[in-house]
């Protein structure tokens, strides 16, 4: 891509970046890379533009459909619960919370069979939801 097509270049770079992150997150068997991808995803949630892009383009939906509570390990579940908490922090994500049925997901995370870190993230997420109108 050349400078005269800078907008196309930005779109291409964004596509490749998101494609790489989500391949590492959803398709890798390497735990270290998967957890790093979760960390990057959680950092992207802090940016309004990226958060909306993740929501509007179905990235959150893909993560929650792929990562099922009974099928992932404890470290991954902890990262997923933290990502859920970050989503609940932002009032502009209320539509995503409803569409993804995150409240029922969060309530499942409060069960005693999960680690204290997962359960505390779930309690924090519920608490954050009470601040939204």
- Domain ranges (residues) in the chain: 3-129
pLDDT reported for residue 58: 85
User: pLDDT: is 72 or 94 the higher one?
Assistant: 94
pLDDT value at 2 more than 70 = no
pLDDT reported for residue 65: 86
- Cα–Cα dist 99/33, whole Å: 28
Contact 27, 67 (CB under 8 A): no
The whole-model pTM stands at: 0.80
- Cα–Cα dist 31/9, whole Å: 31
16-65 residue pLDDT tens: 666 776 666 667 677 787 788 788 888 888 989 888 988 988 888 888 88
119 confidence band (pLDDT: 50, 70, 90): very high
pLDDT reported for residue 131: 85
Structurally, at CATH architecture level, domain 3-129 sits in: Alpha Horseshoe (1.25)
Dihedral of CA 118/123/124/125: which sign? Answer: positive
pLDDT reported for residue 24: 65
């Amino acid at each position: 891509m050349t400078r005269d097509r800078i907008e196309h270049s930005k779109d291409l770079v964004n596509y490749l970046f998101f494609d790489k992150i989500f391949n590492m997150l959803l398709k890798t068997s390497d735990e270290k890379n998967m957890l790093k991808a979760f960390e990057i995803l959680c950092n992207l949630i802090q940016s309004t533009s990226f958060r909306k892009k993740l929501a509007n383009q179905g990235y959150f939906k893909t993560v929650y459909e792929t990562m099922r509570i009974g099928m992932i390990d404890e470290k991954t579940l902890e990262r997923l619960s933290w990502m859920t908490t970050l989503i609940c922090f932002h009032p502009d994500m209320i539509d995503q919370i409803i569409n993804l049925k995150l409240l029922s997901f969060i309530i499942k995370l409060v069960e005693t069979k999960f680690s204290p870190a997962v359960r505390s993230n779930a309690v924090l997420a519920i608490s954050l939801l009470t601040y939204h109108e």
